[in-house]
Chains A and B, each alone.
Chain A
Amino acid sequence: MEKSLSWREFIITRLIQSSGYSAILFVALIFFFLLREGLPALGEVDVSSLLNFRWYPIESYFGILPLISGSLIVTLGAALIAVPFGIGTAVYISEVAPRWMREILKPLVELLGGLPSVVLGFLGILVLAPFLRVFLNLPTGLTAFTGSLLLGGIAVPTVVSVAEDALDSVPRAYREGAWALGATRWQTIWRVTLPAAKSGVLTAVMLGVGRAIGETMTVMMVTGNAPVLATGLGSLFAPVRTMTATIAAEMGEVANGSTHYHVLFFIGMVLFIISLIVNVIASSVVFRAKKRAERILS
């Protein structure tokens, strides 16, 4: 009986161990398949035409610059909204709000994170875009700006939860020290708590931006889908098209193995690498912050 017990233990331990390793396997698999389907694009289209201003696949124009600029301008707009409101809300929840308010706000922000992006896109088309068209007197309401507003909303929960964690992990003694020196709570927030949580707040911003770059359905539905190179702030109020939306909109209609198919995978690869960089940097910030905290405590 003891023998069978140790066999069972052995097998279960192996199973658990391989499940633990599976995360690495999946990241590797994803990267491999993106490379496998995306790299041929470089053989079929030369780099100079990829880095061009014209995206018109039907006539074999595969310039991805307008898509990249579209993603950038929408994301930039989203960040301008999500960063101040996200950090503000995090500070409010963690430092200012009374307990009962916190208990209401936290699940609500979490709820926003759980709202399907397609529902937000749907409301964007039906409510936000018509409103903005009239309000801003634009030819169409489906613009980068509309996308930014909604994307900002989508990125906010990420920013709030990570930033709030960071603020929460600032030792209470720091704040009490500042109060004891006569600082008001407001001064303490700005001069002690936020600086102490700086790396965590930065991580929050990065992850929020990462979330915004990767968002697909909402931007596809509300940004008007025009692959035009963004040239300045004016483009914020014109239709654009992002990398994610291009993949989502066109992948369903291309022939497997065609140049167009490979280029779409190539764009996916670029997105994957962007998210990889964002997350590696964000997590190294977290690691460093933790080490510093350990040093302080020891």
Chain B
Amino acid sequence: MMKLFDQNRHIVQRLGFIAITLMALVTVLPIIGTVAFILVKGGSAISLEFLSGFPHDGMRAGGILPAIIGTLYLTLGTALFSVPLGIAAAIYLSEYARDNQLTRLIRLAIINLAGIPSVVYGLFGLGLFVLFLKFGTSILAASLTLSIMTLPVIISTSEEALRAVPQAFRTVSISLGATRWQTISRIILKEALPGILTGIILGLERAAGETAPILFTGAAFFLPQLPHSPFDATMALPYHLFVISTQVPEMPIQIQYGTALVLLVFVLTMNVIATVIRSRARAKRQW
């Protein structure tokens, strides 16, 4: 009797494990499928002209250079604001903040920033940067909007990396006559660097792929030339993909897949770099 019961339990376990493995596979396989599908379908569109030319014939021919450059500008612009601010905020939380109401409020604010819908960021950017500060629909306004959206990712990953550095390093450094900032700048930041870099790249990856926050703050439908200053609007890969897949009738499918491929490669490269930095740092770490 006991034995039968035992056997039953193990059959249940076997079935359960199979079911849950299948669930994981159903979750993961479409990801691989999506990436592979776009790589295959878009591959034939890629050519030097496609990557380095301007769109023409109502975007139904030519290249996507302005969108690529635009996304680069926006990503760099986002980094310019969000990286220093994000790292500084992470340093504050990990090295300076005491466990009190104010700190809890800051953490709550960060969690909330992470949860605000991207289109609401777009509205905010429109209200503050485009209209109130009169930056206009511009790279500057879009980058600032994306920066604030990226901030929580950078702050929380950097804080985690800083906290992982052993407390003993801080005590020792202080005991040798270092100030708090000397300790941070000479030891803690150096040790936390790989983790911080990973966070930055993951944050920027998200910014590079976003469309909704730049819809009303900086994205242009079509521009015959590259932007000249931060106060110009710009084309961007994600918005361009949106435009050519929904707004332009009789759009050649090839160009659509090609654009999706370039955007995907852009984002995936950042993702892979982040993963590599993280795993190499883990392997090398001596503490």
Direct contact, A vs B (beta carbon within 8 Å): yes
Is the C-beta of B171 less than 8 angstroms from some C-beta in chain A?
no
A216 touches B92 (CB 8 A): no
B120 touches A251 (CB 8 A): no
Which residue of the partner chain, among B109, B208, B275, contacts A26 with CB atoms under 8 Å? B109
Which partner residue on chain B sits nearest A107 by CB separation? B275
Is the C-beta of B180 less than 8 angstroms from some C-beta in chain A?
yes
For the complex, count residues of B whose C-beta is within 8 A of A: 89
| Among B52-60, B72-80, B100-108, B224-232, the stretch in contact with A | B100-108
**Which residue, of B32, B35, B92, B216, has the highest number of chain A Cβ atoms within 10 A?**
B92
Which partner residue on chain A sits nearest B215 by CB separation? A248
A272 touches B242 (CB 8 A): no
Which partner residue on chain A sits nearest B21 by CB separation? A92
B9 touches A184 (CB 8 A): yes
A268 touches B210 (CB 8 A): no
> Please, which residues of chain A bring their CB within 8 A of the CB of B9?
184, 186-187
Which partner residue on chain A sits nearest B148 by CB separation? A26
C-alpha gap A289/B1 in the complex (Å) = 41
For the complex, count residues of A whose C-beta is within 8 A of B: 88
> Please, which residues of chain A bring their CB within 8 A of the CB of B136?
none
B216 touches A252 (CB 8 A): yes
Is the C-beta of A280 less than 8 angstroms from some C-beta in chain B?
yes
Is the C-beta of B38 less than 8 angstroms from some C-beta in chain A?
yes
Is the C-beta of B20 less than 8 angstroms from some C-beta in chain A?
yes
C-alpha gap A136/B29 in the complex (Å) = 23
Q: A23-B151, A27-B112, A30-B124 are in contact. Are A108 and B242 (CB under 8 A)?
A: no
B202 touches A29 (CB 8 A): no
> Please, which residues of chain B bring their CB within 8 A of the CB of A21?
106
A275 touches B263 (CB 8 A): no
Nearest-CB distance from B229 to chain A (Å)?
Answer: 22
Mark A161-198 against chain B: 1 for CB-CB distance below 8 A, else 0. Answer: 00000000000000000000000111101000000000
**Majority DSSP secondary structure for residues of A touching B:** helix
Enumerate B234-267 residues with CB–CB distance to A below 8 Å: 238-239, 241-242, 245-246, 253, 256, 260, 263-264, 267
B264 touches A26 (CB 8 A): no
**Majority DSSP secondary structure for residues of B touching A:** helix
| Among A57-65, A111-119, A227-235, the stretch in contact with B | A111-119
C-alpha gap A264/B119 in the complex (Å) = 11
Is the C-beta of A125 less than 8 angstroms from some C-beta in chain B?
yes
B117 touches A24 (CB 8 A): no
> Please, which residues of chain B bring their CB within 8 A of the CB of A105?
24, 28
Which residue of the partner chain, among B35, B84, B132, contacts A33 with CB atoms under 8 Å? B132
- Name 8 A/B residue pairs within 8 A (Cβ), A-sorted: A37-B127, A89-B28, A93-B24, A114-B270, A119-B260, A187-B9, A217-B242, A272-B117
Interface positions of A (Cβ within 8 A of B): 5-6, 8-9, 12-13, 15-17, 19-24, 26-27, 29-30, 33-34, 36-37, 84-86, 88-89, 91-93, 96-97, 105, 107-112, 114-123, 125-127, 153, 156, 160, 184-187, 189, 207, 210-211, 213-217, 221, 244, 247-248, 251-252, 256, 264-265, 268, 271-272, 275-276, 278-280, 282-283
Report the 5 A-B pairs with minimum CB-CB distance, sorted nearest first.
A214-B117, A20-B92, A116-B209, A19-B88, A88-B23
